[in-house]
Amino acid sequence: MKSWIEVPTDSDFSLANVPFGVCSFPSSSTLSSTTLAPCTPRCCTAIGNHAIDLHLLAEAGLLDNLLMTTESDESRCSEIITNFHPRIIFSQPTLNEFMSCEKHVWVAVRNRLLSLFLDSSSSSSNNDIQIAIQADNRLQQNSALQSQCMHPLSTTLYHLPASIGDYTDFYSSREHATNVGIMFRGRDNALQPNWLHLPVGYHGRSSSVYPSLASSATTSENDCERNLVGGEKMSTVRRPCGQLQVDPLDPAKGSIYGPCKLMDFELEVAFFVGGPTNTDYEQDHNQQQQQPRGRPLTLSEAQDRIFGYVLMNDWSARDIQKWEYVPLGPFTSKNFATTISTWVVTSMALEPFRCETSAGVQGGGGEPTPLEYLKDPNYGSYDVNLSVSIQPSSTSAITQICTSNLKHMYWSSAQQLVHHSVTGCPMNAGDLLASGTISGKDQHNFGSMLELSWKGSREVKLESGEVRKFLKDGDAVIMKGGVKGRVGACRIWTMLCTNFAGY
C-alpha cells in the first residue's frame, strides 16, 4: 500500500490515517481562481506533509458516485450512494454536515480518498489494507488540480473541526477517579458509590473549546523543539483570575479574587458525535405543531454515531475548582479554555487498534455488571499511546512527564454516548464527548499535575533541573497520541502544543 504522494515514515498522516479537519490557506497563491477565498475555512484531509482541500476534490467531481460498502465481498461496490452532495457538504466551514451523514457515507468517502491517494503504477501488493481498494488515478494525473488542492502543512492554518453544539466531559478512567478519590476522601471511599454503575460526566462549556494551532508537519521531537522555541503557531492559554479560598484548608474563611496558583492540564481524548440526531416526533394527535424530542440511543446505534477522535487538554484551575465545585460541579475553573487537536482521526482508522481495556471485562473483577442498556457487546478501547511533555520557557529541553494509553478507560465511548441519551437528551452531529483524564496505574501514567504531584506534595523533576508541582507561566504543554500500525510505527494524532502564559 503506497501513495504517489510522499509520506515520510514518521508522518502522522499515512494511508492508515486519512483524518478530517477544517483548514484555511491565506498564504496560498494557487487558490485565487477558485470559488472559496483562500482565507475561508473549508473541509480537508491530510496525507504525508500535505493538507488536501476536499472542497476542490468535490468540485472536480472526484467525490461523486461514492460506493456503498456492504458486508459481503460479492456485493461490495455495487451500490451508489444517493442523497450525498459532496460539493455542498465539503464547502462548509465545519465538518458538521459531513459528520451528520450515516456511517456508510464516512466509510465511502474514506475509501474514495484512499483510492485517489494510492499509487496506480505501484506494483506493491495490497495485503496491508483491509479492504482491497483499487487505485483511482484522477488526482495523480491532474497536476493542475494537485497544485490547487494540495497545501504544505507548514503553511496550513487550523480551525475547529466542527461547530460544537454541546460539549460534555466524562470521568471514565478508574485510575484517575480513584486517585482523586484517595486524595480528597481517603483510600476507603475513593470511588463514589455510583462510579462503577454509570459513566459519570458533566456538561462543559462549548464556547471555550479552542483549536490547537500546532503545525502537524513537525513530527519529530527535534522539529517540535525548534517549533516551540520559535514559538510559531502555538495557541496560548493565559492563567485565569478568579475566586480562591483565603485559607485553602478552611472554606469558612471565604474567598479572594486573584490569579490561579494551581494551574493544571488534563490529558484526555474526545470524540465527535456523528449521524442523525436521536429525535422522534411526538405522536400526540392533539398537537397542531409537532416537536422533535430526544429518545434514548441503543448501544448498537451508538457504535455507528462515533465519527472520530481528537486529543484534548482540559485546562483546570485547581484552586478555583476546589472553592466553587460544591455542589453543582466545576464551572469557571474549567470554562476559560479547553484545547483540542484539529485533525479528527476517524473511528474507521482506529478500528485496527481495538483492544481490551485495562479493566478487562466489566464485572470480571467483582465490579457490578453494567445494566442492560449499558451492555456493550464490543466493550473495549483502542491501543493508543498518549504522552504529556513540558518545555519550560527557560530551556529548549522537553521533559516527558506522563505516558498513558487510551485503553485505560473503564467506560467505552459507546457506553458514554448511550448513557448521555438515556433520559432522552438529543445528541447532535458535532457534539464533543471527552473521556476525562486518562491515568494509568503507575505514578508516571498519571494524566494531570494534580496526580503527578499528588496534590502538590511531591515535585516533578524536569530535565532542565527545574521542578514542577503545577504549571508555571511560559510552560509549553505537549500532548501526543500514537499507535503502532501494521505498516510500521505511525503517530496518528498531530501534537497538541499549547503555551501557557501569565497575564
Give the residue numbers annotated as catalytic, written as ranges. 176
Q: Is 373 in the site for its own copies (CB under 8 A)?
A: yes
The contact mask relative to its own copies for 414-443 (x = CB under 8 A, - = no) is: -----xx-xxxxxxx--x------------
Number of H helices, E strands in the chain: 12, 31
Residue 431 in contact with Ca ion, rule: CB under 5 A: no
Should residue 88 be labelled a site residue for Ni ion when binding is judged by CB under 5 A?
Answer: no
* Binding at 35: pick from Mg ion, its own copies, Ni ion, none (beta carbon under 5-8 Å per type): Ni ion
Question: Please, what is the minimum distance in Å from the beta carbon of residue 208 to its own copies?
Answer: 5
Site for its own copies contains 393 (CB under 8 A): no
Binding window for Ca ion (CB under 5 A); candidates: 125-133, 168-176, 401-409, 423-431: 168-176
Residue pair 302/414 in contact by the 8 Å Cβ criterion = yes
- Kindly state whether residue 431 participates in binding Mg ion, applying the rule CB under 5 A: no
CB-side neighbour CA atoms (13 Å) of 248: 10
Q: Which of 186, 193, 365, 366 binds its own copies (CB under 8 A)?
A: 193
Q: Is the dihedral of CA 227, 259, 480, 347 positive or negative?
A: negative
Per DSSP, 422 falls in state T
- Does 59 help bind Mg ion (rule: CB under 5 A)? no
Q: Pairing between strand 496-501 and 235-238?
A: parallel
175 binds, options Ca ion, Ni ion, its own copies, none, Cβ within 5 to 8 A by partner type: none
Least distance to its own copies, CB of residue 306, Å: 17
Residues ≥6 apart with Cβ < 8 Å to 418: 296, 297, 298, 299, 302, 373, 374
> Within 438-497, which residues bind its own copies (CB under 8 A)?
none
Rule CB under 5 A: which of 289-348 touch Ca ion? 314
Q: Which of 165, 294, 329, 482 binds Mg ion (CB under 5 A)?
A: 165
Could you say which of 178, 236, 385, 400 contacts its own copies (CB under 8 A)? 236
Instruction: Give the residue among 384, 339, 332, 388 at the shortest CA–CA distance from 358.
Output: 384
Q: How far apart are the first and last CA of the chain?
A: 50
Is 282 a binding residue for its own copies by CB under 8 A? The answer is yes
Percent helix, percent strand, percent coil in the chain, to nearest 5: 20, 25, 55
The cell numbers describing 86, all together, are 459532496
Smallest gap from residue 332 Cβ to its own copies (A) = 4
Beta carbons within 8 Å of 341's beta carbon, 6+ residues apart: 212, 214, 310, 311, 312, 479, 481, 493, 494, 495, 496
Query: Per-residue x/- marks for Mg ion, 197-236, CB under 5 A?
Result: ---------x------------------------------
